[in-house]
């Protein structure tokens, strides 16, 4: 049980180490993008091109009513901020407005999605993935107990297919494949899916 908790802790630690930074700017009296969806652990930076614009977080009710009462504990971007980071926001929807121009519709939302839990099931002695963390290439070693069709895919934590590492190939005995990671544009935590027949197994890897 302690080993499981430690593995989860390391996975979360690596995830937050490789968060993405998103930027919100103003175009006239509108925020762009007005609705931003990010993942837990990502950063948000505001760049405002006028000293007449700011951004304060408000409650949903205040946002709907075009009010300007700040949310207790919410973020506050100063007027004319050229590069102001609000850091890593909590999971949920964050509502914000420009105090001077909320009545003109200058307001926005930031939706923070929680990290999707991936059921990490390993093939124990049959599977070896190294190095982990990986940078330039990744080696997968799989030992089949018989003759079976194997497919290997790489997904991000949102479930989007990043790359098909191995098309369906019949494996008998020991298989060792080394795969280049030059197509991975963003470092972070990914999931390798090993499909054998009707069974899918998953293992997280960190790509630097």
For residue 1, pLDDT beyond 50? no
Q: Which token pair is 120? A: 């990490």
Q: What are phi and psi of 4, to 5 degrees?
A: -65, -45
3-state secondary structure of 24: strand
Residue of 97, 131, 113 whose CA lies nearest to 41: 113
CB of 48 closer than 8 Å to CB of 77: yes
30 pLDDT tier (thresholds 50, 70, 90): very high
Average pLDDT over every residue of 162-167: 88
Domain boundaries, the chain: 20-113, 124-207
Q: What is the pLDDT of residue 13?
A: 41
Q: What is the pLDDT of residue 181?
A: 87
Q: What is the pLDDT of residue 158?
A: 67
Who has greater pLDDT, 13 or 198? 198
pTM score above 0.75: no
Least confident of 101-105, 125-129, 171-175: 125-129
Average pLDDT over every residue of 137-156: 85
Q: What is the pLDDT of residue 17?
A: 42
What number of CA atoms fall less than 13 Å from residue 26's CA on the CB side?
27
CB of 112 closer than 8 Å to CB of 179: no
Q: What is the pLDDT of residue 199?
A: 75
Q: Rank 8-12, 25-29, 126-130, 132-136 by mean pLDDT and report only the highest.
A: 25-29
Superfamily of domain 20-113: Cupredoxins -  blue copper proteins (2.60.40.420)
Beta bridge partners of 119: none
In sequence order, what DSSP letters do the residues of 83-122 get, joined into one string?
SEEEESPPSEEEEEE-TTTGGGT-EEEEEEEPPPP-----
**pLDDT tens by residue, 61-110:** 999 999 999 999 999 999 999 899 997 788 889 999 999 999 999 999 99
Q: What is the pLDDT of residue 38?
A: 84
Residue of 114, 192, 124 whose CA lies nearest to 158: 114
**Do 20-113 and 124-207 have matching folds?**
yes
Average pLDDT over every residue of 128-156: 86
- Domain 124-207, classified CATH 2.60.40.1930, yes or no: yes
């Amino acid at each position: 049980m302690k080993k499981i908790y430690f593995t989860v802790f390391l996975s979360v630690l690596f995830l937050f180490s490789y968060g993405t930074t998103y930027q919100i700017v103003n175009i006239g009296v509108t925020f762009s993008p007005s609705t931003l969806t990010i993942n837990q652990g990502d950063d948000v930076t505001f760049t405002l091109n006028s000293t007449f614009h700011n951004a304060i977080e408000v409650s949903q009710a205040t946002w709907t009513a075009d009010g300007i009462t700040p949310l207790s504990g919410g973020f506050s971007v100063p007027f004319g901020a050229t590069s102001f980071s609000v850091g890593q926001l909590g999971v949920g929807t964050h509502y914000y407005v420009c105090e001077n121009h909320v009545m003109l519709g200058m307001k926005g939302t930031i939706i923070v999605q929680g990290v999707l839990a991936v059921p990490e099931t390993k093939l124990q002695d049959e599977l070896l993935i190294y190095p982990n963390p990986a940078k330039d290439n990744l080696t997968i070693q799989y030992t089949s107990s018989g003759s079976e069709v194997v497919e290997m895919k790489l997904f991000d934590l949102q479930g989007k297919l990043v790359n098909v590492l191995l098309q369906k190939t019949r494996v008998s005995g020991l298989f060792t494949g080394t795969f280049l990671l030059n197509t991975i544009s963003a470092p972070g935590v990914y999931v390798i899916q090993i499909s054998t027949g009707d069974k899918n197994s998953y293992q997280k890897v960190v790509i630097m």
